[in-house]
Amino acid sequence: MKNYMKTGFILMLFVVISGLIVSWVYVSTKPAIDNAELQAKLKAIKKVLQNSRGEGLLISDNKIPKTSQELDSAIWDSNDSGVLYSKGKAKVYSPAYKYINDKGQEIYILTVSSVGFGGEVISVVSFVKDKKIYFNNLEVISYSQETPGLGANISEEKVKERFYPISYEGLIKGVKVNKDAGVILNTPDKIKKGKEEGIVQTSDIMTGATITPRAVANSINIGFEYLKSKGVIQ
């Protein structure tokens, strides 16, 4: 009986000490993890504030958020559930941000996702409302489960830039990759014109990968639908 009690006491002590070590590691590393996540988010937001229809930034450099407080001041919509809007496998995550630049343009920054080949493909995206709203820019921030050399190529700049800018007319028709549209856009002029129709040419630079770019296209569409649901688009 004494041996059982001794063994139980040792096991309990081991569990308590292990728990304290895990708690200490969590507490000591959490600030660094939180800061790394914040810096990644700030970097993505600065990327999508690049003007895809011209040079430079959509807002002045001194308005680009550099701290969590500056970022929080731009929150336009949020909730406690973490998801602002969803449809099927696509989501818009909380919070959403809004800026107004010197030209009076409204810039909406969203974190959106849809399911790729291996899991969620998450992007930070921007829409600009001028006379008409258009899709301005994106940064893919999570794609780790996509296949290396295929879907994972979605992180390459030459691939991402195929998705922007997309005109209001293209957004209304629904963004889709060229394979789903059944076309091949084989010249720069055709690629540009395709975006006006909501068609994104990816098959030439993501050979063998359709599911991942389709997920990005779907996430752009869910962002557009969310803005419609909020009355941004009449």
In a domain, 11, yes or no: no
The answer to whether residues 49 and 64 touch, using CB atoms and an 8 Å cutoff, is: yes
In a domain, 29, yes or no: no
- pTM for the model stands at 0.86
User: Is the per-residue pLDDT at 114 higher than 60?
Assistant: yes
Neighbours of 224 (CB within 10 A): 28
Neighbours of 214 (CB within 10 A): 23
In a domain, 1, yes or no: no
**What would the pLDDT profile of 214-234 be if each residue is shown by its tens digit?**
999 999 999 999 999 999 987
In a domain, 7, yes or no: no
Instruction: Kindly report whether the peptide bond that precedes residue 188 is cis, defined as omega within 30 degrees of 0.
Output: no
In a domain, 3, yes or no: no
In a domain, 102, yes or no: yes
In a domain, 173, yes or no: yes
**What would the pLDDT profile of 79-93 be if each residue is shown by its tens digit?**
999 999 999 999 999
In this prediction, residue 47 has a pLDDT band, given cuts at 50, 70 and 90, of very high
Residue 136 belongs to domain spanning: 34-229
Mean pLDDT of 110-123: 91
In this prediction, residue 195 has a pLDDT band, given cuts at 50, 70 and 90, of confident
For the chain, give the percent of residues with pLDDT over 70.
83
* Count: domains in the chain: 1
Q: What is the pLDDT of residue 215?
A: 93
Instruction: Kindly report whether the peptide bond that precedes residue 95 is cis, defined as omega within 30 degrees of 0.
Output: yes
In a domain, 18, yes or no: no
